[in-house]
Amino acid sequence: MSLNCLSLLLIALMMNPSLITQSAASSAAADKVYIVYMGSANPAKESAINSMLKRDGGRAIDPLRTYRHGLSGFSARLSPEEAAAIADHPHVISVFPDESYKLLTSRSWDFLQELTEYNDVVPLAGPIRPGFCTSSPSSGLVIGFIDTGIWPESESFKSEGANSNPPRGWNGTCMAGADFNITACNGKIIGARHYVTGTARDWAGHGTHVASTAAGAAVGKASYYDLATGTARGGSEFARIAVYKACNDRLRCKGSHMLSAFDDAIGDGVHVISVSSAPDEVPSRSPYFLRDPVAIGAFHAVERGITVVAGAGNTGPDPASVFNDAPWIITVGASTIDRVFRADVVLGGGGGVVKGEWLTFPDLDRSPIHPLTDGSTAKEGNASYLAASDCQQDSLKREKTEGKIVICEVKGKDPTINLLTQANEVQGKGGLGMILVDDVTRRVAEYSGDFPVTVVSSREAVKLKSYLNITVDPLATILPTVTVGNYRPAPQVSYFSTRGPSVNLPNIIKPDVIAPGVSILAAWIGDDSESTPKGRKPPSFNIISGTSVSCPHVAGAVAAIKNAQPSFSPFAIKSAIMTTAFVTNNVGSLITTDAGEEATPYDLGAGELNPTGSLNPGLVYEATTTDHLLFLCYYGYDTATVRLISRVARSLNFSCPLDSSPDLVSHLNYPSMAVRLAPNQTRTIGRVLTNVASDGKWSYTATVRFGGGSTEGLRSDVAVKVSPERLCFTNKGERHLFNVTFMSTGSVDVDRVVFGWITWTNPRFKVRSPFVILGSTA
């Protein structure tokens, strides 16, 4: 250790006396909380931390949090000058402001099982219980949830079926807190820690929903007021739950709290971590260890053999919107399932039925006896037609809406209006109910309160408009929601799911997979008045949407894989999830987006989670921490930094190769492939497959298919060749290399993106990887 930060600060002060006045002038209020990140945990760093904190002469720094199990560092309130001085310390990798992140806010498992039928997968030998992943009651697997806490009284968390004691080696704890007594922990919830609100109790619902989706016990006849009725159960029904409450009741999570959660989860001995938060802003290019607590925490978890699953974000569908895109994370986008919640509109005088979707329990007559109007007809004198047709605030005239059902639209694309503000305007002006015309909102049914609401597509709205046009006294009613199954096509990539390419690194395809994330039923907190219709008891289960609902589907599947294949590394698990994913929907076509376009790997990654198939992938793209270290070198970190970040790098005396460049990331043994290709260029990348099938010899043949989005038919621009085209495996654990050669002709468009799939097939297994070719100039 050369200079400690105190001496650095003193030198800085001596060289620039104005700093003294500046820092003296900066009141404590001007100081911000910073995270000081120091790479992997090690005792030498603890003394470095102590020297940074205890500063003779200078202000002693009081750390708010210290990280020492899985990673090293602390958070503290610092002046900008202190932050800058600490950043120069040789043990410090980065110092960044402690920002706030937002959570990305069952039938789904059965649906995934049934999809098998459409995906040309040969059924596995041996019994697979329908609808969920095989997992034995003695499962010692622990999933850690970094979320809003848990409602321990939910039936989904009863410990029957699970062992009554935590698994051997478990180092976690059950922290008591407000309204959370240690008896809340049982054989199911084996650990609970909180970093906010003084309790691990969930007051928001999100954490409870997520935990029960991944690891909830089976609960028969679960429903949301008789909607979505069925058996609710987690993907890994016997996995244990460890709660890390880093997010508050308003679904906000501080970076410093999430890092503590990762640090503790690593020390406690979890096997899987599920985290579903993202920053508010659009993704920006930012080296992973500079300011991204999820990337940092996840790196250290994966280095210890823990798989980390994260939501991709809900701010789609624009390109390059994907969050949580570090290569060591399994990044999960959201899909629909084959179920819709119909709340139809019945028109008077034989006008027929208009299909609507929403969760509503209207207090209206079931016969169409209520007068119907639309926003523009009910316009307030001084409002614009556009504002009125969208039912914006103060745009409707009470005399024209009182006692009526009002049709509202979303023509103005005004970001400040949403279904709730529109319903408020209609209700405030004495309306009886609202029919919203909105192709996007329609697909994400939720409960929005007692005021009757349904949402119709613009196609269905044509019927409404012509009825209104030709009818003298138009009448209608909104029917209460009913559950409709077997909806086709499904799955579809939800509009809100974020899309690739990764802003940080186009040489890796993100998201990795999609999983059910639209209108999913799971356990809920027991006292949520907002989700409770008038005159009812609060629900035990609720229906919500988001990539944070998709994320625990994959976390549950990961626990099931780990249970079935205890020797699988996080890399093998990710490979199993990706290469077995479904690409075909329940009408036997390629999966589309909810706008009806064929989905590309930037929309769905490798495809829709296949929980059963992923238990037995046949082959895996295995990797080690060294591959991640090479990634860091290619990405731009130097040897010294990589050794600070990674304990493995330090223990191996790892050095970055001399020729490190981001394009080399394409060569890492990732289960998908992305290469940049200039006109007339040929690039060959290698991959290694490892045989994980326990039963006998398997040979595989490679096929290449182009497609995805509108890129079908670009085969004259590029050629993709797999060599060798056939691989024969004799023993479990056997590895074989193959090369993929990408060749472009002179006509390749530099702005073009070409998508495709490489599949290794035999009569039993399909091992499929998406690829992306990015046109480039050099």
3-state secondary structure of 671: coil
Does 626 contact ligand NAG by CB under 6 A?
Answer: no
Residue 384: CB minimum distance to ligand NAG, A: 8
Rounded to whole angstroms, how far apart are CA atoms 186 and 165? 7
Interface map 160-179 toward ligand NAG (x if CB under 6 A):
---------x-x--------
Q: Which residues contact 198 (CB under 8 A, 6 or more apart)?
A: 177, 178
Closest CB to ligand NAG among residues 369, 652: 652
Handedness of CA 20, 22, 24, 29 (dihedral sign): negative
Q: With binding defined as CB under 6 A, does residue 138 bind ligand NAG?
A: no
Q: What is the dihedral of CA 171, 175, 181, 183, to 10 degrees?
A: 0
Shortest reach from residue 163's CB to ligand NAG, in Å: 16
206 is catalytic: yes
Among 589, 684, 703, 730, binds ligand NAG (CB under 6 A): 684
C-alpha angle 688/501/330, rounded to 5°?
55
Per CB under 6 A, does 43 bind ligand NAG?
no
Establish if 734 lies at the interface with ligand NAG (CB under 6 A). Answer: no
In angstroms, give the least distance from the CB of 177 to ligand NAG.
11
Euclidean distance between CA atoms 602 and 604, whole angstroms: 6
Among the residue ranges 327-335, 576-584, 654-662, 732-740, the one whose residues contact ligand NAG (CB under 6 A): 732-740
Q: Smaller CB distance to ligand NAG: residue 121 or 273?
A: 273
Q: Catalytic: which of 206, 257, 370, 628?
A: 206
Q: Is 380 in the site for ligand NAG (CB under 6 A)?
A: yes
CB 325 within 8 A of CB 502: yes
Spatial distance between the Cα atoms of 514 and 540, rounded to a whole number of angstroms: 27
CB nearer ligand NAG, residue 269 or residue 500: 269
Of 699 and 723, nearer to ligand NAG (C-beta) is: 723
Applying CB under 6 A, among 21, 27, 567, 653 the residue interacting with ligand NAG is 653
Name the active-site residue from 40, 531, 548, 660.
Answer: 548
3-class secondary structure, 576: helix
Closest to 142 (Cα-Cα) out of 184, 177, 187? 187
The residues near 280 (Cβ < 8 Å, ≥ 6 apart) are 100, 101, 102
Do residues 405 and 477 touch, judged by C-beta distance below 8 A? yes
| CA–CA separation, 517 and 223 (whole Å) | 17
Residue ranges of alpha helices (H) inside 533-624 are 547-564, 570-579, 601-604
Residue 749, sorted as left (phi over 0), alpha (psi -120 to 50) or beta, turns out to be beta
Q: Which is nearer to ligand NAG, 138 or 680 (CB)?
A: 680
Q: Which of residues 468-497 bind ligand NAG (CB under 6 A)?
A: 469
Measured from the CB atom, the residue of 100 and 159 that comes closer to ligand NAG is 159
234, 269, 348, 611: which one contacts ligand NAG (CB under 6 A)?
Answer: 269
Residue 737 beta carbon to ligand NAG: minimum distance, rounded to whole angstroms? 4
Assess whether 628 carries a catalytic annotation: no
Active site residue 147: yes
Residue type (1 letter), 341: F
> Do the beta carbons of residue 754 and residue 655 sit within 8 Å?
no
Report the relative pairing of strands 272-275 and 142-147 from DSSP bridges.
parallel
735-744: strand order across its sheet = 619-620, 682-691, 735-744, 718-723
How many CA atoms lie within 13 Å of 193's alpha carbon, on the beta-carbon side?
Answer: 22
Binding window for ligand NAG (CB under 6 A); candidates: 107-115, 150-158, 463-471, 708-716: 463-471
What type of residue sits at position 180? F
The binder of ligand NAG chosen from 160, 280, 394, 725 (CB under 6 A): 394
Q: Which of 2, 164, 183, 731 binds ligand NAG (CB under 6 A)?
A: 183
Site size with ligand NAG, rule: CB under 6 A? 23
Q: Cβ 244 to ligand NAG, closest distance in Å?
A: 15
| Residue 379: CB minimum distance to ligand NAG, A | 10
Is 282 an interacting residue with respect to ligand NAG (CB under 6 A)? no
**Applying CB under 6 A, does 694 fall inside the site for ligand NAG?**
no
Residue 382 sits in the site that holds ligand NAG (CB under 6 A): yes
DSSP letters, 361-399, are ---S-SSS-EEEEETTTTB-TTS-HHHHHTT-TT-B-HH
Cβ 671 to ligand NAG shortest distance, Å: 18
Interaction mask 397-436, ligand NAG, x per CB under 6 A = ----------------------------------------
Most distant pair of Cα atoms in the chain: their distance? 87
Q: Which of 428, 566, 588, 686 is in the footprint of ligand NAG by CB under 6 A?
A: 686
Q: Which of residues 654-683 bind ligand NAG (CB under 6 A)?
A: 679-680
Q: Cα–Cα distance between 434 and 436 in angstroms, integer?
A: 6
Residue 707: count other Cβ atoms within 10 Å of its Cβ: 17
383 versus 426: smaller Cβ distance to ligand NAG:
383
Return the half-sphere exposure (C-beta side, CA atoms, 13 A cut-off) of residue 629: 25
How remote is the C-alpha of 646 from its chain's centroid? 25
Q: Determine which residue in the list 367, 589, 682, 739 makes contact with ligand NAG, applying CB under 6 A.
A: 739
98, 110, 147, 390: the active-site residue: 147
Name residue 521's amino acid.
L
Residue owning tokens 């999830």 = 577
209, containing H or E segment: helix 206-215
Q: How far apart are CA 429 and CA 402, in angstroms?
A: 6
What's the min distance (Å) between Cβ of 377 and ligand NAG? 12
Would you tell me how many other CB atoms lie within 10 Å of the CB of residue 664? 17
* Residue 696 interacts with ligand NAG (CB under 6 A): yes or no: no
- Choice between 661 and 680, CB closer to ligand NAG: 680
Residue identified by tokens 């690891």 is: 215
The answer to the question of residue 624 lying near ligand NAG (CB under 6 A) is no
Minimum CB distance to ligand NAG smaller for 462 or for 482 = 462
Q: Is residue 198 a contact point for ligand NAG (CB under 6 A)?
A: no
Q: Which is nearer to ligand NAG, 484 or 640 (CB)?
A: 640
Cβ-proximal residue to ligand NAG, closest one: 269
Which residues lie near ligand NAG (CB under 6 A)? 169, 171, 181, 183, 269, 380, 382-383, 394, 465-466, 469, 652-653, 679-680, 684, 686, 723, 737-739, 746
Instruction: Give me the active site residues, please.
Output: 147, 206, 548
